[in-house]
């Protein structure tokens, strides 16, 4: 049995979400790594999931989305559909804390990039959050 035996009192019960900032910035007040909380933590998680390629995460080859590969396809409305459904499926599979309410992918033919607007609702909260990011070939 490789796990530590845990008792109920060992758990810190919390309704909030706390993650480290993906930039690993320094918090000048605590002199520790900075943290992101609640909606920001979820936002960071969604971005991580969408921008992770399958097989990039150690020992979890299915994790992530293949939008990175789709970016090399011809830029047309069909590609927009594919990217939208890929993002939706990925979030549905790997981020159970949110329900996506709207997604909009806008191609920018001049810069060969795609702007993604994602609106979602955090489960259990009435507010709608949104996140925007740009997909571009590396």
Q: How far is the CB of 13 from another protein (least distance, A)?
A: 10
Question: Rounded to the nearest 5 degrees, what angle is found at the Cα of 69, between the Cα atoms of 77 and 130?
Answer: 65
CB nearer to another protein: pick between 45 and 84: 45
CB nearer to another protein: pick between 106 and 123: 123
CB of 115 to another protein, least distance (A): 21
Residue where the block lists tokens 């520790």: 32
Return residues touching another protein (CB under 8 A): 1-4, 6, 10-12, 14, 16-22, 35, 41, 44-46, 48-49, 52, 57-60, 63, 94-95, 97
Dist CA 23 CA 49 (whole Å): 16
Q: Is the dihedral of CA 94, 129, 44, 4 positive or negative?
A: negative
């Amino acid at each position: 049995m490789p796990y530590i035996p845990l008792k109920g009192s060992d758990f810190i019960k919390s309704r909030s979400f706390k993650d480290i900032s993906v930039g690993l910035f320094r918090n000048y007040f605590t002199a520790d790594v900075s943290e992101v909380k609640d909606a920001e933590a979820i936002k960071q998680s969604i971005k991580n999931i969408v921008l992770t390629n399958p097989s990039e995460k150690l020992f979890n080859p299915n994790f992530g989305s293949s939008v990175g590969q789709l970016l090399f396809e011809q830029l047309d409305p069909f590609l927009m559909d594919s990217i939208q459904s890929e993002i939706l499926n990925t979030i549905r599979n790997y981020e159970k804390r949110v329900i996506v309410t709207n997604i909009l992918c806008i191609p920018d033919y001049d810069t060969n990039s795609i702007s993604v607007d994602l609106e979602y609702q955090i489960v259990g909260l009435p507010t709608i959050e949104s996140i925007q990011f740009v997909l571009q070939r590396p």
